[in-house]
Amino acid sequence: MSEVATSHPSIYNQQVEIAIGGKEPCVPIIEWQEKFKLGIEPSDTHHQHLVMLLNTAYDNFVAKVPVAEFGAVLDELVDYATYHFNAEELWMRENGYPKLEEHIEMHNYFTRRVTEIQKDLLHERNNVPLEVLTFLAGWLSNHILVADADFSRIAASSRKAGVKIQL
């Protein structure tokens, strides 16, 4: 969720209402920021793509697209997240990251949550509520800024010690 959303919820809600009403362009649910950059490629590029996919899901929510179209975006989000998580976990494993199992569980939680949303859509129980999208955006930004940043600090220390680190 953007800093506006966390520091001024009423302003954020007004922006969402404006976006839903179609009076102004839709604001992203999560904005890519420099602080998300970890200095590890292609991880930074992967994270940027995940942010873009979440924003696409949000745009579809705002536009009230058909469930099938919304589901296709979630499929792409799960596929890309799985690709990214596998690459990241392999890199962590190869470089002896001490919190690997904890990190894998975080990835699994995200994937399970999106899969639950997909199942709800498939059974047409309901449309995805805004709270689910804000949860996913918050999870991703927190994961990058805390868990992935922790790994980035260890990688930076390894590079300083002369260990070649690449993802």
pLDDT, tens digit (0-9, with 9 covering 90-100), for 89-148: 998 998 889 999 999 999 999 999 888 888 877 776 566 678 788 889 999 999 999 999
Structure tokens, 116: 């639950």
- Using 50, 70 and 90 to split pLDDT, how confident is the model at 21? very low
- Using 50, 70 and 90 to split pLDDT, how confident is the model at 9? very low
Taken in order of first residue, the domains within the chain and their CATH numbers are 36-160 (1.20.120.50)
Give me the pLDDT at residue 127, please: 63
* Mean pLDDT value across residues 13-21: 40
Comparing CA positions, the residue from 11, 30, 3, 21 lying closest to residue 62 is 21
Q: What is the CA radius of gyration of the chain?
A: 17
* Mean pLDDT value across residues 27-47: 92
Q: Say if residue 42 is preceded by a cis peptide, omega within 30 of 0.
A: yes
